[in-house]
Copies of this chain bind each other. A is one copy, B any other.
Amino acid sequence: MTNNKDINAGIIIIGNEILSGRTKDTNTSTLAIWLNSLGIKVEEVRVIPDVESIIVDTVNLFRKKFKYVFTSGGIGPTHDDITSESISKAFNITYGAHEEAFKILEKYYKPGEFNEGRQKMAYMPIKASLILNPTSGAPGFYVENVFCLPGVPSILKAMLGGIQNKIVGGEPILSHTINLRTVESEIAKSLSEVQNKNTDVEIGSYPFFRAGKLGVSLVLRSTDQNKINNCNSEILKFVQEKKIQIVDEG
Interface residues of A (CB under 8 A from B): 13, 15-26, 28-36, 41-49, 76-81, 115-118, 120-121, 151-152, 154, 173, 175, 184-189, 191-192, 195-196, 202-207, 209, 219, 221
Contact = CB atoms under 8 A, between A and B. Distances in A.
Contacts of A115: 185-186, 189
Question: Which of A16, A26, A116, A196 is the most central at the interface, judged by chain B CB atoms within 10 Å of its CB?
Answer: A16
Given A22-B219, A29-B24, A79 B195 contact: yes
Given A117-B184, A117-B188, A80 B205 contact: yes
A219 B17 contact: yes
Copies in the complex: 2
Nearest to A30: B21
Given A21-B28, A21-B33, A185-B118, A78 B192 contact: yes
B76 A207 contact: yes
Question: Which of A33, A43, A188, A196 is the most central at the interface, judged by chain B CB atoms within 10 Å of its CB?
Answer: A188
Contacts of A191: 78-79
A15 B45 CA distance: 11
B36 A20 contact: yes
A21 B42 contact: yes
